[in-house]
Amino acid sequence: MESKTTVMGIDMGSIYAEDYTASFAFYNGLLGIADYSPMGDFACYFRLPDKRGLYLIGRRARAPRPKTEIRTTLCFEVPSTTAMLEKLQKANVECLCEVPLDMGGDNYWFEAVDPSGNIIEFVGGK
Tell me which residues of the chain have a pLDDT lower than 50.
none
Other beta carbons within 10 Å of 5 = 5
State the pLDDT at residue 96.
94
The hierarchical CATH code for the domain 12-63+71-125 is 3.10.180.10
Q: Do β-strands 43-47 and 75-80 pair in parallel, antiparallel, or remain unpaired? A: unpaired
Taken in order 46, 75, 17, 30, the sign of the CA dihedral is negative
pTM given for the model: 0.88
**pLDDT the model gives residue 32:** 96
Residue 12: how many other CB atoms lie within 10 Å: 13
Give pLDDT, residue 63. Answer: 77
Query: CB-based contacts of 35: which residues, under 8 Å, 6+ apart?
Result: 46, 47, 48
Predicted confidence at residue 48, as pLDDT, reads 94
